[in-house]
Amino acid sequence: MAPSSPRSTPQLGATVVPLARLQKLEAQMTTLLHHIQPCMQKLIAESEAMMERMMEGMMDRKVQAVNKRLDAFELRVLERSAPAINLSDLQADLASLRTDVDTLLAAPSAETQAAPTALADDTVLEALFSGTAEEGPAPTHTKGKQHRPHRTEKEKAHKK
């Protein structure tokens, strides 16, 4: 037997199509694509326009829902009873405040200025020197801890 080349014999299950037939099919597909392409572009444009309209409609519905909620909120706020403001009472309070401010802004005497400073100085000195020199600082290991005896005061009194 002579060895066969892959071109001379087709493989099992393969269909052999003549080259002229293949070229004719390619030309027909190109023509078909040329005729279908405008229809496809038109369908794509229509689909995009429809999607745009759907999105606009959905956004309009959402905006309407938000506006409806805002209107309901506004009505609830407007229905609340506003506190009644008595203008004469407000003017009297304002006059009283002006009098108080004028009193506070009046020229202070030297005596009233010196007293708070002296009091502050005394407080600082008292805080610095309130302890005696013998006490010394508290040990650091007991800082924040409380000593708790094992026996309570009642037990101690009971044993005596």
- Given a cut of 60, whether residue 123 has pLDDT beyond it is yes
- Given a cut of 90, whether residue 46 has pLDDT beyond it is yes
Q: Which two tokens stand for residue 107?
A: 């020229």
At residue 141, φ and ψ (nearest 5 deg) are -75, -20
Residue, of 100 and 160, whose pLDDT is higher: 100
At 78, the pLDDT band (50, 70, 90 cuts) reads: confident
Tell me how far apart the alpha carbons of residues 63 and 74 are, in angstroms, rounded to a whole number: 16
Q: What is the arithmetic mean of pLDDT over 66-84?
A: 88
Tell me how far apart the alpha carbons of residues 70 and 45 are, in angstroms, rounded to a whole number: 37
- Given a cut of 90, whether residue 117 has pLDDT beyond it is no
- Given a cut of 70, whether residue 17 has pLDDT beyond it is yes
